[in-house]
Amino acid sequence: AVVPRTGPFRVASALWCRGMAPSYGEAIYRQVSKWTAFTRIEFVPDAKKPGSKSYDRYQSYGKSRYVGEALRLGAKPEDLVHDYHKKYLKMHKDQRIKVPPGVVGEAEEAIFSKFLRRMRGPAGINIRKMNAKKLKAEERLRKMGIEMKDMRDEKSCQETNDLQTLRLAADCAAADILADIERTGRKTLEKDVTAVLELWAFRKNDTRLNVLPEGKSWVNSDTLGLIRDRKGYFIVTKPTTDYPHFMALLTRFLNDRRPPELDCDFPFTTISLNFGYAAKRHRDSGNLGPSMIRAFGKFKGGNLCYWADDDKSTALDNLRDDDKVSLDISQGFALFDGNRAHEVDSFHGDRYSIVFFSVDKFWKASEESLNVLRERGYNIPTDEIMGKARKLLPAPRGYSGCQSLTSMFGSREKCKVFHWIEGQEERDMVPPSSSPSSSSSSKVGRPPKSTQEPPKSGDLKALFFGGGSTSPSAAGAGTSSQSSTTASNGEGAAASSGDSAPEDASKSDASQKTASLKESSAPAATPPRKESSKGSKRPLGVSCEKMKRARKQQEAKADSAAKKASRAAEGPKAESTPKAARRATEGTKAAECPKTGETPAAQASALAADEPGEPLVEQLASTHFHPDAVAKGSAWCNRLGLIARALQGAEVKPQMPTIALSNAFRAMLHASEEPLPGLLSAVELLVRPVADPLPAEVVGCAIATAFGGKAPAAGSDLAKAAAAACSASAERPAAPLTLAEALAELKAAKDVPAEAVQHAARLLLAVGDGGEAAALARLLLGKPALPRSAVLRALAHAFALTKPPRSGAPAERRAFPKSEGQHARLVATDKALALAYGETGGNLEQLLGALLADCRPAELFGRCGPRPGSALLPMKAKEARDLEHVLSELTGSPVLAEQRYLGELVQVHKLPDGQISVFGSGGAEFSDGLGEALAAALAEALRAAGACVLEGVLQRDAGVLQLVDCLHAEGRPLTRQSLRERRAVLDRTVGSGDLVQIALSEEFPLDDPPTDVVLSQLLEEARGEGLKGVMLKRLDRQYEAGAVDSDSSVALLLPGA
């Protein structure tokens, strides 16, 4: 129902909103918008005080006579606006004088033109668009008898007149729309919401740090409904009560579109309004999870990108783009979990978005506040309703790179995100009825049921390695009478992402396009789905964009194979050079490559048919690759090309990025009786550049040196440039390098900068095609397709599936009677190897020695545990600035709080002979740099202790060492013990003094967790002492050496730290 109006004057007089950043008046912006780079100006001499931030800059540009000249002398466009406002700058009376040549250049013209295009006026509105929008709003209010100039004394002192005018106009427009809806009985339309959003004025929000795009200090965003204030109390925001019709229209739009899968209205307590920015990748804080989102306006791009399987175990920056789901939310509502990673693609145009969600612990709000929300159409959650919403979103599986066992057995997976796409008729026109049948529910992440029987546990080995199964491509072409198992090669979602259901002619264009894509990619043997009474539902395994890319790639591969085969058939002319001959051979092999499920003997024949006999990328990145078919002594198993091809395989098969590298490691184990040197070089090649990459200038020049032509332009994509240059020089034969030679070239490129280009060029010349060149270029730049954690996971999977060669016995595939045993071995080896790598300080020789001895995962700790004298890789804590987010993260764990000190994280090692060594965070020793006083104090503090390893923060300026953890003491490693046990040992081991101290801390047990008030007080103490913030550590967690963004501890930082 329409909220009753209490009179225009009374509604306006009750307006209040949160304060906005101060801005200049309209007259200032309007005058500056008329300037050009040739505008003649004058500055007041010595207008700014010495010592101010812009004094030196003003002294330089204050002598200029033109706007462009001022920019050339160091002024910023913002300086000129500020100086004009302060009257330090004034326009010259005579603007007819021409600018002398050389005073203003093209660069200054471009700078000022760009500034004028993006100049923001009051309330963050573009000055050129603001006037028309404000005049339209004032005219609407004037027709209702409201004159804004008479109401300046009635508004809040924290609200500008412009903001009040536009928001009140939006509320009045919403009241008219609601009255029309009540009169006609129609549903709320997309154009209704768009109309009021275009009138609404957004405030500058500088508190949403987790969504701020790079280079931005604020965004246009408003939060309506229930929020938590700084004291921890739940309140209803003032715009919610001051603009009742605006609120009622937004809530009604959602309630008119009840999801067919939910037998009740979607529950929410809060609405987030956003305009004109693409939120960076983030996870929400203080959100119960289930969220509904919709976009409005005229724009291109701006899709919602969502990582449905994000379990927070992976840092945001390490999430792969290929794992995300892309949703065009301008087509209809989408249901997702806001606590999982999501971001917004860049866009052009005016984009508005509305997010409906529920704040955590909303039940603590007063009944009065909840009733206010109910009056405006908010659906306050209950346990039952919220439980129904959560059931629609399955728990995340994480991104381990392993195949889903559910899909491997041919079962249907629960959809990961719902997207209800509305027809154009429902979005833009008055529908004849309120039936939701014209919208379609797009469920992402649920592959269709396989027509095969789910394999028994004894058949899992055949399923995993392809024994007798049919490839999706063969099924789609109709070459097999039986459809393929959904996830037989990890591409089931892409290869059979939808059913060929008949489409009604009344469906929207978007639905028809999606249906055509589904029909083209669905297996012929898949039976059609029946139409639901609630509208046609379209289960999508991947987004439409991914389906298009996959289809284009398949067509391109088919064309390429046909062309290569035709060139090979032409005879000797097509093989005029060694590299051309090799490419023709690969083209013929591509047509004859082993089919899915081919026996090892057949694959061995194919691999041995030719020298060098390397597997193609598609073979290497397949679960059906047979490493035991590799011939002993195969030279290609010890070459750089194999690693480049494995990196390329991670890009070809992004849903299983580590499988190509794992197969490469397994091939190396089968090909050599002594695989240690090759594995050692391979892993170091993959890990070393990430920590110490080559400069982009060096890689660019290396591309030109290796393949000829000009060096790529600065700032260009060097990987694409390397691929293009390598493909263009097809007549140039490859110059293979062994893994040891490649590692030596990489080390020489870093050790001898003057010869870095030549060494990098030799590495690039060792690859076979453009794809490998691109993968290698990314590796040299420190941005490989596989981060360090993925390389270690591939190594772990290789040894989990393959027994290494020992005592003359060759390597062999490890047998698992049941699938559960194989899965458990993969997981255990992955975890144990990552911890062992960190505890050995990245000592690959020690780690590989233990793996080649066929140690079980549980035995790695004894073989590769921490030792005094060998630096461990530090565990890096998560960083956060939001109190509510941190409190939510630490729920369910006892917590230790200590100050986050300014200084360098170090490790103190006391050896059995009494010698003390200190290592920095990079693993380098610098014991001599402690200073005599601190070194003596440290020796005294550890005088009674035996061999030990301690972690602390070195404050060089103060000459103080704050010890925070104990990793080895009393003759045993402590990294696998809880923090509570490690701190107890630290207290027994160290004698605290003035220069060597045990960091002060406070424990919070489970029954008395920290509150936002307590953390705020700790932050204020840290601010007063000039520290970065507060460290909050889980007392029941072990030390994860080498972990990045570990959730064992969270660093709560002060703003700006």
What are the pLDDT digits (tens) for 859-890?
A: 888 888 889 999 999 998 888 888 888 888 88
Phi-psi region of 1028 (alpha: psi -120 to 50; beta: other; left: phi over 0): alpha
Q: Mean of the pLDDT values across residues 306-323?
A: 88
**How far is it, in rounded angstroms, from Cα 964 to Cα 797?**
35
Q: Which of 613, 644, 859 is nearest to 742 (CA)?
A: 644
In this prediction the pTM is 0.48
Residue 52 per-residue DSSP state: S
Residue 307 per-residue DSSP state: -
Domain ranges of the chain: 26-120, 126-199, 204-395, 694-781, 877-1053
What are the pLDDT digits (tens) for 539-552?
A: 333 344 445 555 55
Question: For residue 349, how many other CB atoms are within 10 A of its CB?
Answer: 11
**How far is it, in rounded angstroms, from Cα 601 to Cα 597?**
12
**How far is it, in rounded angstroms, from Cα 180 to Cα 171?**
14
pLDDT recorded at residue 512: 41
877-1053 under CATH 3.30.470.30, yes or no:
yes
What are the pLDDT digits (tens) for 948-1003?
A: 999 999 988 888 999 999 999 998 999 999 999 999 999 999 988 889 999 988 99
Which pairing describes strands 342-344 and 948-955: parallel, antiparallel, or unpaired?
A: unpaired
**Number of C-alpha atoms within 13 angstroms, CB side, residue 363?**
6
Q: Mean of the pLDDT values across residues 52-72?
A: 85
pLDDT recorded at residue 57: 86
Residue-by-residue DSSP string for 330-395: TSS-EEEETTS-EEE--EEE--EEEEEE-BTTGGGS-HHHHHHHHHTT-----HHHHHHHHHTSPP
Q: Mean of the pLDDT values across residues 620-632?
A: 82
For residue 839, give both structure tokens. 């505890």
**How far is it, in rounded angstroms, from Cα 1 to Cα 172?**
15
What are the pLDDT digits (tens) for 125-136?
A: 454 444 555 666
Helix (H) or strand (E) holding 679: helix 676-691
Tell me the pLDDT band of 335, cut-offs 50, 70 and 90: very high
Specify whether the CB–CB gap between 699 and 733 falls below 8 A: no
Where b means 16+ CB within 10 Å and e means fewer, 667-685 reads bbbbbbeebbebbbbbbbb
Greatest Cα pair distance in the chain: 97
| Highest mean pLDDT, choosing among 47-56, 104-113, 491-500, 675-684 | 675-684
Residue 908 has pLDDT above 90, yes or no: yes
Q: What are phi and psi of 812, to 5 degrees?
A: -145, 155
Residue 601 has pLDDT above 50, yes or no: no
For residue 414, give both structure tokens. 């629960």
pLDDT recorded at residue 510: 38
Residue 597 has pLDDT above 50, yes or no: no
Long-range contacts of 361-367 (CB under 8 A, 24+ apart): 361/234, 362/226, 362/234, 362/269, 362/288, 364/234, 365/226, 365/234, 365/269, 366/234
Residue 740 CB burial class (10 angstroms; 0-12, 13-18, ≥19) = middle
Q: Cα-Cα-Cα-Cα dihedral of 900, 902, 905, 911, to 10°?
A: -100
Residue 576 per-residue DSSP state: S
For residue 476, give both structure tokens. 């789609």
pLDDT recorded at residue 25: 67
pLDDT recorded at residue 611: 39
Residue 563 has pLDDT above 80, yes or no: no
Q: Mean of the pLDDT values across residues 902-923?
A: 90
Q: Cα-Cα-Cα-Cα dihedral of 700, 318, 303, 210, to 10°?
A: -110
Residue 478 has pLDDT above 70, yes or no: no
Residue 151 has pLDDT above 80, yes or no: no
Q: Mean of the pLDDT values across residues 764-783?
A: 86
Cis peptide before 753 (omega within 30 of 0): no
**How far is it, in rounded angstroms, from Cα 24 to Cα 789?**
50
Residue 157 has pLDDT above 50, yes or no: no
Q: Mean of the pLDDT values across residues 334-345?
A: 93
User: CA 921: distance to chain centroid?
Assistant: 26
Residue 142 has pLDDT above 50, yes or no: yes
Tell me the pLDDT band of 304, cut-offs 50, 70 and 90: very high
pLDDT recorded at residue 964: 94
Residue entry with tokens 């573009």: 126
Q: Which of 335, 277, 274, 331 is nearest to 306 (CA)?
A: 335
Residue type, 1035: L
Residue 596 has pLDDT above 80, yes or no: no
Q: Mean of the pLDDT values across residues 780-805?
A: 90
| Highest mean pLDDT, choosing among 18-22, 24-28, 707-711, 1030-1034 | 1030-1034
Strand partners, 918: 908
Residue 501 has pLDDT above 70, yes or no: no
* Between 99 and 936, the higher pLDDT residue: 936
What are the pLDDT digits (tens) for 171-225?
A: 888 998 999 999 998 999 999 999 999 888 888 888 887 888 888 888 889 999 9
Strands (DSSP E) found in 463-611: 537-540
User: Mean pLDDT of all residues in the chain?
Assistant: 76
**How far is it, in rounded angstroms, from Cα 300 to Cα 346?**
9
Helix axes of 770-780 and 696-707: crossing angle, nearest 10 degrees: 150
* Between 529 and 205, the higher pLDDT residue: 205
Residue entry with tokens 């070809």: 652
Give the least confident one: 143-152, 219-228, 312-321.
143-152
Question: For residue 25, how many other CB atoms are within 10 A of its CB?
Answer: 10
Tell me the pLDDT band of 278, cut-offs 50, 70 and 90: very high
How far separated are the first and last CA of the chain, in Å rounded? 49
For residue 545, give both structure tokens. 């964009």
Q: Mean of the pLDDT values across residues 698-724?
A: 87
For residue 603, give both structure tokens. 């694959």
